[in-house]
């Protein structure tokens, strides 16, 4: 089994051509034809993630967020990115990142979040022009039974493991149709409104964006890591389904760079 086999099993549902123009998905470090012995799966690659891979004798790391996002002009110990790359090369560890191509897959990041919340009847929030059935941004689905807004906020916080949520003013209406986008989904708020969603869950919402709903939708910022964390299970499931006997595991190292102080 090779590094290319792992790459191919993920791109089967999220082809690299689906990534955004600014992105850097795919093989980032290593030889695509090298043998893959064991894979460590994570959301972000940090120096500590590479250390965990070394400790567990994993020679492949598969992440959602790319470690190398922009071009590197040198490899020195000055930044965690450069240190992680150097350490991976020294230990013959290949790095694969499946980013916006997996975001844009119907079976990808937002679908995992929707399933986690218990939504049904999925369809893409902003379908692509060329492949609208399988490629596009975000997801929209429904609950069988409408729920109160406070109950929905409680459900979201519980399912994504967040101690607190930022949200717009309550609308006074029940929540049944929910639009969502794992990660930074502010650009798709208009699509959530056009689809008459009762709530829109995403991350990285700016202050002024909270004025946009004007009481027409409950806008929720669940956090970038929190709304994309289930991508690890998605990647793990794809690899194990295709290669049941291959050694793969989800990283134990915490990579969420955001911490919360909750006042009692």
This prediction's pTM: 0.96
Q: What is the pLDDT of residues 179-217, one digit of tens each?
A: 999 999 999 999 999 999 999 999 999 999 999 999 999
94 and 119 in a single domain? The answer is no
Mean residue pLDDT across the chain: 97
Residue 259 lies in a domain: no
Residue 73 lies in a domain: yes
**At residue 263, does pLDDT exceed 90?**
no
Residue 95 lies in a domain: yes
Residue 21: pLDDT band (50, 70, 90) is very high
Residue 96 lies in a domain: yes
**At residue 234, does pLDDT exceed 90?**
yes
Q: CATH number for the domain including 204?
A: 3.40.1390.30
130 and 186 in a single domain? The answer is yes
CB 109 within 8 A of CB 102: yes
Beta bridge partners of 219: 200
**At residue 264, does pLDDT exceed 90?**
no
119 and 64 in a single domain? The answer is no
Residue 192 lies in a domain: yes
| C-alpha–C-alpha distance, residues 230 and 238, integer Å | 13
Domain region containing 68? 3-100+230-250
């Amino acid at each position: 089994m090779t590094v290319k086999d792992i790459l191919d099993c993920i791109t089967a549902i999220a082809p690299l051509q689906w990534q955004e123009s600014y992105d850097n998905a795919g093989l980032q470090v290593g030889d695509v034809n090298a043998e893959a012995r064991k894979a460590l799966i994570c959301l972000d690659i940090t120096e500590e993630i590479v250390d965990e891979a070394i400790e567990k004798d994993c020679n492949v790391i598969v992440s959602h967020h790319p470690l190398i996002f922009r071009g590197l002009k040198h490899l020195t110990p000055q930044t965690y990115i450069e240190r992680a790359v150097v350490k991976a090369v020294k230990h013959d560890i290949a790095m694969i990142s499946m980013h916006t191509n997996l975001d844009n897959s119907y079976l990808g990041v937002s679908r995992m979040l929707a399933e986690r919340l218990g939504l049904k009847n999925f369809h893409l929030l902003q379908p692509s022009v060329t492949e609208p059935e399988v490629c596009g941004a975000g997801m929209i689905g429904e609950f069988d039974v409408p729920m109160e807004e406070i109950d929905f906020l409680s459900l979201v916080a519980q399912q994504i493991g967040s101690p607190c949520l930022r949200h717009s003013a309550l609308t006074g209406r029940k929540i049944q149709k929910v639009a969502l986008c794992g990660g930074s989904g502010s650009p798709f708020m208009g699509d959530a409104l056009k689809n008459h969603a009762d709530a829109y869950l995403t991350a990285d919402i700016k202050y002024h964006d909270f004025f946009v709903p004007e009481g027409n939708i409950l806008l929720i910022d669940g956090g970038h890591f929190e709304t994309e964390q289930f991508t690890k299970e998605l990647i793990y499931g794809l690899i194990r389904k295709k290669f049941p006997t291959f050694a793969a595991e989800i990283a134990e190292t915490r990579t969420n760079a955001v911490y919360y102080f909750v006042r009692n």
